[in-house]
Structure 1
């Protein structure tokens, strides 16, 4: 007999709507899972059990059932601020910080009727692509606890993979949703720049960081994305005059139907190739070949993209990554509380001349146009999700910033350029290594092309016969 956490988020939504389970029962079930499993997995930075149960009662009594996420549990990434709940941003420097107001994304999930169980772990200020900071235990991969969960939404991915949450929102400034989703055998969606009002990317440096869902299935990811975009139902009311073109949703229908035939490109080069030695390991290459074979067999057009070297990319992106750390609100003696990597980034970022920053921004804007033009003849472009299988906990150099950056690039060379380009992308698990660790692929869409991505990802998910499940130990 299946337990509540064995159900997909969409199935739980249907159970809630039919009154077969209540928001309080669902929150209680998942809080029990968190209490039992989190000490081993390290997925949560903060658990707000009492507040969650109070919220579930409120939702049951006062929030309309028509809200898209009514009664469904989730948790806020610890980069998001929720009034009255500690927001550590993965840093010892903010161990005592409790915000008085909630940010837009938190307001959106509340308006959609969700029940937050707390905060999921993130590395310091979400900067690295792994979640192993000094402010708390590492977020471990539920498929193999010796491996990391990825980052920076590593706690969110670990929680969903271990069945502590049905799905979870994350943020993605260089792959921070797609990397942990791929590492933990989940679906991760980076929306188009401007798509999600509470995490549009428009206010972030170079427009990189956007909010999106991490889930066990394509349909679950679409369900959560609909709630993030239009918490009171479509049509969505965007807070900005700039948003991605294309379909406005809802996306759940496209994910459930999984219809259409598309022209697909396959890409094995990355813009990091000129600066770093990039090797795609056998499991990652095999997953891509499997996905391409499946989609080709379904009648989609498939074409290999010729390499397009971008020798200026590494320098421009490094400049932005370092400059982004310059705004960290920590000064003086408090800087000693920061981790070595963050201190290195902070120093480098605050030393970036204004001219160099302006040149990097201009270069990346031109790069965005070149990428969109390169992909123009394709509905979707496929790449490996990661170049390497999930790295062991402790694999990254915590002291040497240059080596650490190189390690991150070698692990995940196919994600950051999607942020620079503002394009939507989705990762889908398709296979396993011999050791039983999931391996996925990345699908990149046109600007505003989320519906096409959900349709194609659903076809791939069905064809590889991937049933959503948690690792057996959980």
Structure 2
């Protein structure tokens, strides 16, 4: 057998079912790698070794991922486990409840090894929390460069072989950005696909949980674990015809795929490597028999302030009610964005939500003739740690983030599924993702297309030096 961490998550599940390896052996293998590599990669905030060993010993659950180790992003409440939300203000918080998606991961028999690194309250697209919480999350392909955010710790853990797959969340690209930086598959599901119970803290409809994995099939199997509504959810995606894993085995028909490269969020230059990745992906899709059509950017630039208003209010929900002394302990970006959100009146927020939904409707109408949309994931390969962060001028920091991520947020606004695929590497070995977005609630079709792309240009055997 190969080294255990070289197996995909589905291969690990199959090995457990056949008796070739036990869940306990996998847990010990990954805990050893976490002890050796997590600090360097900024992957984990909290490691739950004893809980994982106990769960592996008494593991129950059915399905293809039963017994397989994973990790939970530190924005998701986990009963009895410190959940710091990337903030010094929450460093000692231990909830007595778990989010619904955590319960579903446990019910599937998967074994969480701990909580992965995230920036304060998940706001920025880099993962550089206060050093007392964790070191910066970096891409294993070059540890001087960022893993992205806000699911940076999750992506660093998967890319570094510390877990085979991990849960992330995405309100403006926070799954797809680190997937691109770390050479992984990162899927943002459709709005309502994964329940936000019991807290329902995401009131805009922008954010959702989703899988970060090494392969499309692993991501699909993990989506099967997390997906499905809970009683009381404000919205929900329709039940799929077949499992998302089964959808990967369905060869897609000839598709019409729109493509554009004009940045949406900001007027910014696109790195030639990202252009090359996008052009190569276009040729690959055409070689697979699909029609690729150039279109204008379907979302107007004047929609950006509406998104930014909603994003600021989301941050403010984490900071409102804090004392002046507590706010002084926040990171400058959180403090600035939270203050901006607190200054938004109720009617202004309501108008912004309404306009965001109208923008989404117009955007979806513009791309309705197409089965999928292709763009780069990011405007640049992974940047050096600290390249975006500007504590002295958080507003400039925020603008720099939009220039780095000028396409991802569009699909949070529309609520459509979108995936970053690791199809390109620079000459010095840095991963560069390309992004495919599907129709609303169209994860099955998007996964079938992504699996076809992976089969034609496989990446699973490409690893960083720490592998």
Instruction: Give TM-score scaled by structure 1 length.
Output: 0.94
Q: Residues 165-314 of structure 1 correspond to what in structure 2 (within 5 A)?
A: 165-198=163-196, 204-229=202-227, 240=233, 242-245=235-238, 247-272=240-265, 276-308=266-298, 310-314=300-304
Tell me the alpha carbon deviations over residues 337-389 of structure 1, each in whole angstroms, 9 at most, x when there is no partner.
11111111121111112232122111101011011101101111111011111
Corresponding residue for residue 136 of structure 1: 134
Between 1:88-97 and 1:323-332, the stretch displaced more is: 323-332
Secondary structure of 1:141's counterpart equals coil
Between 1:37-46 and 1:462-471, the stretch displaced more is: 462-471
Match of 2:426 among 430, 433, 437: 433
Match of 2:67 among 64, 67, 71: 71
Structure 1 residue 201 displacement after superposition: 11
Check the 8 A contact 1:74/1:115 in 2, yes or no: yes
Residues in 2 aligned to 1:188 and 1:385: alpha-carbon distance in whole angstroms = 10
Check the 8 A contact 1:6/1:469 in 2, yes or no: no
Structure 1 residue 199 displacement after superposition: 6.9
Shift in alpha-carbon separation, 1:96–1:46, aligned structure 2, 3 A: same
Check the 8 A contact 1:200/1:211 in 2, yes or no: no
Structure 1 residue 202 displacement after superposition: 7.2
Structure 1 residue 196 displacement after superposition: 1.3
Residues in 1 aligned to 2:206 and 2:299: alpha-carbon distance in whole angstroms = 21
Residues in 1 aligned to 2:445 and 2:251: alpha-carbon distance in whole angstroms = 9
1:101 aligns with 2:91: no
Tell me the alpha carbon deviations over residues 234-281 of structure 1, each in whole angstroms, 9 at most, x when there is no partner.
xx7765373224735411112244443211110212432xxx322111
Tell me the alpha carbon deviations over residues 203-255 of structure 1, each in whole angstroms, 9 at most, x when there is no partner.
5232011010000000110011011126xxxxx77653732247354111122
Structure 1 residue 306 displacement after superposition: 2.2
Residues in 2 aligned to 1:178 and 1:172: alpha-carbon distance in whole angstroms = 8
Secondary structure of 1:359's counterpart equals helix
Shift in alpha-carbon separation, 1:367–1:297, aligned structure 2, 3 A: same
1:337 aligns with 2:329: yes
Structure 1 residue 68 displacement after superposition: 4.3
Corresponding residue for residue 18 of structure 2: 18
Corresponding residue for residue 144 of structure 2: 146
Residues in 2 aligned to 1:106 and 1:240: alpha-carbon distance in whole angstroms = 16
Between 1:353-362 and 1:218-227, the stretch displaced more is: 353-362
Residues in 1 aligned to 2:218 and 2:299: alpha-carbon distance in whole angstroms = 36
Tell me the alpha carbon deviations over residues 398-431 of structure 1, each in whole angstroms, 9 at most, x when there is no partner.
2312111111111111111100100001111111
Q: CA RMSD in A?
A: 1.8
Residues in 2 aligned to 1:100 and 1:75: alpha-carbon distance in whole angstroms = 18
Give the gaps of 5 or more residues in structure 1: 231-235
Between 1:260-269 and 1:248-257, the stretch displaced more is: 248-257
1:405 aligns with 2:398: yes
Corresponding residue for residue 448 of structure 2: 455
Shift in alpha-carbon separation, 1:352–1:133, aligned structure 2, 3 A: same
Corresponding residue for residue 126 of structure 1: 122
1:390 aligns with 2:393: no
Structure 1 residue 32 displacement after superposition: 0.7
Between 1:211-220 and 1:257-266, the stretch displaced more is: 257-266
Residues in 2 aligned to 1:443 and 1:390: alpha-carbon distance in whole angstroms = 19
Give the gaps of 5 or more residues in structure 2: none
Shift in alpha-carbon separation, 1:351–1:242, aligned structure 2, 3 A: closer
1:114 aligns with 2:110: yes
Structure 1 residue 464 displacement after superposition: 1.8
Tell me the alpha carbon deviations over residues 121-172 of structure 1, each in whole angstroms, 9 at most, x when there is no partner.
0000000000011132000110000100000000000000000000001110
Check the 8 A contact 1:194/1:200 in 2, yes or no: no
1:381 aligns with 2:373: yes
Number of aligned pairs?
462
Tell me the alpha carbon deviations over residues 422-470 of structure 1, each in whole angstroms, 9 at most, x when there is no partner.
0001111111001101111100000111011111111111212323442
Check the 8 A contact 1:181/1:214 in 2, yes or no: yes
Shift in alpha-carbon separation, 1:354–1:197, aligned structure 2, 3 A: closer
Residues in 2 aligned to 1:53 and 1:108: alpha-carbon distance in whole angstroms = 19
Corresponding residue for residue 410 of structure 2: 417
Residues in 1 aligned to 2:164 and 2:7: alpha-carbon distance in whole angstroms = 8
Between 1:458-467 and 1:382-391, the stretch displaced more is: 458-467
Check the 8 A contact 1:199/1:211 in 2, yes or no: no
